[in-house]
Amino acid sequence: MTQKLANYIGGHPHAPRNGKYLDNFEPATGKVYSLIPDSGAEDIELAVQAAKTIFPWWSARTAGQRSEVLYSIANKIEQYASELAYAESKDQGKPLALARELEIPRAIHNFRFFASEILHQTEQAVHADASETLNYTHRSPLGVAGLISPWNLPLYLLTWKIAPAIAAGNTVVCKPSELTPMTAYMLGEILNEAGVPHGVVNIVFGRGATAGAALTANPEVPILSFTGGTATGRSVLTSAVPKFKKTSLELGGKNAAVVFADADVAEAAIQLVRSGFQNQGEICLCNSRIFVEEKVYPEFVEKFSRYASLLRVGNPEDKETNMGPLVSKEHKEKVQSYIELAKKEGGKIAFGGDTPTLSDYFSGGYFLNPTVVTDLPHTARCMQEEIFGPVVCIAPFKTEKEAIEFTNSTEYGLSASLWTRDVSRAHRVAQALQVGTVWVNCWMVRDLRVPFGGMKASGLGREGGRHSLEFYTETKNICVKL
């Protein structure tokens, strides 16, 4: 009997009102292994009402009381970490080891971080001249927050939204990606075991165009936090604008790495193979373009291609596996179409570009080998458009000015990494890059205390630390005559 998931509304499982379900495929085999609610506007409305009903009570809890609930959620996720990691790997395709090392620990950290952060919030106060008046800020939650998350890091990114939103005193309606529902479904039961009051968190499954669009349009949802593709981000913002909804968008990227000749070329190649192919290249922060100073270009391409060829593609449960399948048949076909385009654009396939040979059990899976493309101009479509898969394009540059120009040449501005031993150049180039995050001689070092988000077509707003708590609250100024 195929497992049927349910929406989690008001602390209880709910079947979709329309009785419809979507097939949920296992990426490693291509087989249907569960069914998810194909929810509509009425399911979203039910969830919004549950969240609205308890909002007055939840928002009246003290920061200390809300902090305790978040710590309890973190502890419960930790208790089920192994089951969640297995579910995540089966549902999204990422290696089980990666789910255990990255995905689940970050979900736990999200709740523990904001459980603490909420206790250290301060307001601003200003005494006017001659102390005749006192101005001070007062922050309050907005109400029901609509949280929409993508399929690549399902639990990590969903909890990155839930934790600050409820810490700040809001209640939430979540719409996870229909491609990877499993860990969000398990989260519902975990929240009940953690003692989260019913209605504070609600989770509705379904497609973006129906359930997602109903959530962004719902008049009783004044704040939206969205993570996903840039095109979808435009639809979300279009829906939010007429009602002036406070909106945070974390969108796509086409992140570049810049390797100068004075860098540790071998170390840069090792780190950039991780950065290009981790989670099958399905992390918005992956470096999918690498610009290398001409002097060391041949050496870098040789090392990078060799290291990429050592990656093990296969069974996500195998602890030796470095890359599992892509998330869906459609996504694999999209990535393959870009590999064909790269060849048409004059690129050379330095490694990969094909599918691995695996046992019959995985014959229906969405596997692709890591692919390295060289010699494309920075203006090529494969160098400009987000592929969001295991495809990395490498090209040479002559000057620092050219490296900056190439990096800034796309519509995106999410992140970049710089590899050089010249400290002044590191700071100078980092400040010239039009991206929200720059890593120097490292990648994906995340600290929740700093602002996170993209520029240009990569997003709107910043979340992280106090930036998240500011986003999930309204700030008023009160002026009192003394």
| Cβ 482 to ligand TXE shortest distance, Å | 46
Nearest by Cα to 224 from 464, 463, 466: 463
**What CA–CA distances, in Å, run from 145 to 73, 108, 169, 191, 203?**
19, 21, 10, 17, 12
Give the shortest CB-250-to-ligand TXE separation in angstroms: 4
Question: If you search the block for the tokens 């250290």, which residue do you land on?
Answer: 120
286 is a catalytic site residue? no
Of 434, 396, 402, nearest in space to 416 by CA: 434
Q: How far is the CB of 206 from ligand TXE (least distance, A)?
A: 8
Q: Is 284 a catalytic residue?
A: yes
Instruction: Report in angstroms how near the CB of residue 86 gets to ligand TXE at its nearest.
Output: 21
Residue nearest to ligand TXE (CB): 208
Using the minimum distance from each CB to ligand TXE, give the nearer residue, 212 or 347: 212
Set 250, 282, 345, 386: catalytic member: 250
Most distant CA pair in the chain, distance: 82
Task: Tell me which of 117, 178, 284, 382 is the catalytic residue.
Answer: 284
Which residues form the interface with ligand TXE (CB under 6 A)? 148-152, 175-178, 207-209, 212-213, 216, 227-229, 232, 235-236, 250-253, 284, 386, 388, 414, 454, 458-459
Least distance in angstroms from the C-beta of 393 to ligand TXE: 16
What is the Rg, in whole angstroms, of the alpha carbon atoms belonging to the chain? 23
Q: Which is nearer to ligand TXE, 207 or 425 (CB)?
A: 207
Cβ 460 to ligand TXE, closest distance in Å?
Answer: 11
Nearer to ligand TXE by Cβ, of 152 and 420: the residue is 152
| Nearer residue to ligand TXE within complex by CB, 124 or 238 | 238
Burial of 229 (0-12, 13-18, 19+ CB in 10 A): middle
Kindly state the smallest distance separating residue 204's Cβ from ligand TXE, in Å: 11
| Residue with Cβ nearer ligand TXE (13 or 229) | 229
Q: For ligand TXE, give the closer residue by CB, 142 or 148.
A: 148
- The tokens describing 112, both together, are 């523990």
Looking at beta carbons only, is 211 or 429 nearer to ligand TXE? 211
Contacts of 340 (CB under 8 A, 6+ apart): none
The catalytic residue positions are 250, 284
